[in-house]
Amino acid sequence: MVDLHTAYASHLREVEANPSALERAQVTLGRDMVEFLKRGDKALEAARKALAYASGNPSDGAGAILDPKEIRLMSPVPRPGALVSAGKNFSDHVAEMASKKGPSSPVAFLKLPGTVIGPEDDIPYPPEVKNLDYEVELAIIIGKACIDVSQDNAFDYIAGYATFNDISASPGKYWPRIASSDSPRRARRPAPITHMPTPCP
């Protein structure tokens, strides 16, 4: 596992003789993956140089090569700009929901960016929740702004993939509820746990 900031700073200092190596590395790569993706091709090229330097100089990494046992993994993309989820998007689930008079085709819904946590963080179990459940999902990370992208060009916008745990729960007796947006007279609906803090490791 490689610390990109340290490895790229070493590359800048040793290969390009840059006197402001660490500052340049921080500006080029950003503080986290969200900033890294916003910086585009320049950040990606810097990351490639950092990995090449660390691979070619394993004993001169100046702390760039890390022992996985000594670090704590955080969310790969903390607080993404948007978190769009797809439901009923595989045939068995669609058939199951159709038999229960549910949606017969895929649906999309949003989650709040603040719900994302790291793979080693605890998932809270609120006392008002019953039947806390999980679903293993595939997260597709979009690396740059896009709209109306054709199927042929879709992969040009994908930065990577991650495992995603979609936590959900059945409402309990004291489950918080929200009013219907289309009719204030309509009975209130349970507020989904997917919008509460930290249900998305």
Rounded Cα distance, 79 and 17, in Å = 35
Rounded to the nearest 10 degrees, how much is the dihedral formed by the CA atoms of 143, 145, 147, 150? -40
Helix, strand, coil share of the chain (percent; to 5): 35, 20, 45
E-state strands within the chain: 83-87, 107-111, 130-142, 158-170, 177-178, 189-190
How confident is the model at residue 101, as a pLDDT?
62
pLDDT at 182 over 70: no
pLDDT at 194 over 70: no
Third-level CATH fold of 83-195:
Fumarylacetoacetate hydrolase; domain 2 (3.90.850)
pLDDT digits (tens, 9 = 90+) for 30-87: 999 999 999 999 999 999 999 999 988 876 655 788 888 888 888 889 888 888 888 7
pLDDT digits (tens, 9 = 90+) for 95-146: 665 666 656 667 788 888 888 888 888 888 877 777 788 888 889 999 988 9
How confident is the model at residue 129, as a pLDDT?
76
Domain with CATH 3.90.850.10 in the chain: 83-195
Residue with tokens 């500052």: 23
pLDDT at 189 over 80: no
Helices 4-14, 41-56: crossing angle, 10 deg rounding: 80
How confident is the model at residue 190, as a pLDDT?
47
How confident is the model at residue 164, as a pLDDT?
87
pLDDT digits (tens, 9 = 90+) for 138-176: 899 999 889 999 999 999 999 999 998 888 776 554 444
Rounded Cα distance, 119 and 133, in Å = 16
Per DSSP, the three-state class of 94 is helix
Rounded Cα distance, 48 and 151, in Å = 28
Amino acid sitting at position 171 = P
Per DSSP, the three-state class of 121 is coil
